[in-house]
Amino acid sequence: MRIVLMIALATTQSTFAAAPDVFAYKALAREDLRLSTIGYRLAAANTPFCTRKSRNPGWVLHDKAQYPDADMAQAAFGFRAAVAVSAVIPGGTAEALGIKAGDGLSAINGIELSKLPFAQRDLASARLEKIQTIFGDALGSSGTAEIALVTSEGQKRITLAPPAMCASRFWLDTKSGLDAGADGISVRVTEGLLAFTAHDDGQLAAIVAHEMAHNLLGHRQRVSGGGKGRGQILATEIEADRLSVWLMANAGYDTAAALRFAERYGRKTDLGIFSDGTHLRWKNRQRVMRQEIALIAQAETSSGLRAPPLLTALEIVK
């Protein structure tokens, strides 16, 4: 039997299957960091074009209770508090302030996290979510939050004032299939797809940008609002492909990586005559994205950024 627990992280949430060992736990944390780093870069670069923004400290948090084997989690990560920093994103606020993987989070704006009431059975799913909410509320009201950390050098108090960027969360899903999804705010990518793109961060950026595009364009609301037909779903897929390469270009990724991914993924998964008609075949995806890449080359830049027409057309950019 597989034990599946939700792992909620600062910018990442994951489900974790059983049979853990220290190596598997550490590998999961590295994959989380890779996904979070790419998501952070896309969310930060495209900030002017997003209506929904949130302050992002550039760290990944995890909760000891989310691991099936607490002793193994302690051995892998050395939790100094029940909720701790799993990794810091290069170039983010947490890194700049000297916060390190392994630092335990003990208080936010004077709220002692160890005193928050939770039933034991709720710890894995509820505690980190609650802490994220407290942290988000603190940053949302004043733009800053004072945190207390338990570090290798003892207690530290740090004031965080992280930058606002496109509001997005990134979930590492430990399923092995080649699958990704968007739910309106979050981007989910399977461990299978992380492995499929292990040699090329640009291809993982293409996946994340495509799913972020669904979120930025409100596709979930549109499709769940009655437009569930195949044509409607296909239209949203084409829009996500079109916007994805603009998001990538603004974040400094090579847009050709999206073409490479479309081909590799298509050759692996295209169903040919069994296709349900909701997705373009890979050569057509490439054609759509090549048209956009040509437009990107001609677009005016402002502060090194190019405004994606799909977002400006929706008057998302004020």
* Smallest distance, Zn ion to C-beta of residue 195, A: 20
Q: Which stretch binds Zn ion (CB under 5 A): 41-49, 111-119, 238-246, 261-269?
A: 238-246
CB atoms < 10 A from the CB of 209, how many? Answer: 30
Stretch touching Zn ion by CB under 5 A, among 73-81, 106-114, 239-247, 309-317: 239-247
Q: Which of 240, 251, 257, 289 binds Zn ion (CB under 5 A)?
A: 240
In the complex with Zn ion, the residue whose CB is nearer, 191 or 237, is 237
**Residue closer to Zn ion, measured from CB, 63 or 237:** 237
- The CA-CA-CA angle for residues 229, 230, 231, to 5°, reads 90
| Span interacting with Zn ion, options 47-55, 89-97, 233-241, 293-301, rule CB under 5 A | 233-241
Closest CB to Zn ion among 31 and 237? 237
Report the nearest approach of Zn ion to the CB of residue 306 (Å). 22
DSSP secondary structure string for all residues of 206-230: HHHHHHHHHHHTTHHHHHHTT--SH
Q: Which is nearer to Zn ion, 237 or 292 (CB)?
A: 237
d(CA 221, CA 263): 29
The Cα–Cα gap between 157 and 146 comes to: 7
Give the interface size with Zn ion as a residue count (CB under 5 A).
2
- Which one, 206 or 240, has the nearer CB to Zn ion? 240
Q: Which of residues 288-307 bind Zn ion (CB under 5 A)?
A: none
- Binding segment toward Zn ion, per CB under 5 A, in 57-65, 141-149, 170-178, 231-239: 231-239
CB-count burial class (<10 Å; 0-12, 13-18, 19+) for 139: buried
DSSP assignment of 78-127: --SSSEEEEEE-TTSHHHHTT--TTPEEEEETTEEGGGS---GGGIIIII
Residue 33 as a binder of Zn ion (CB under 5 A): the answer is: no
Instruction: Report CA-CA distances (Å) from 188 to 119, 194, 215.
Output: 28, 11, 12
CB of 146 to Zn ion, least distance (A): 40
- Name the nearest CA neighbour of 251 among 212, 309, 199: 212
83-88 and 59-63 strand pairing: antiparallel
Shortest distance, position 254 Cβ to Zn ion, whole Å: 21
Radius of gyration of the chain measured on its C-alpha atoms: 20
Rounded least distance, CB 314 to Zn ion, Å:
18
* Span of 85-93, 183-191, 234-242, 297-305 interacting with Zn ion by CB under 5 A: 234-242
Binding site for Zn ion (CB under 5 A): 237, 240
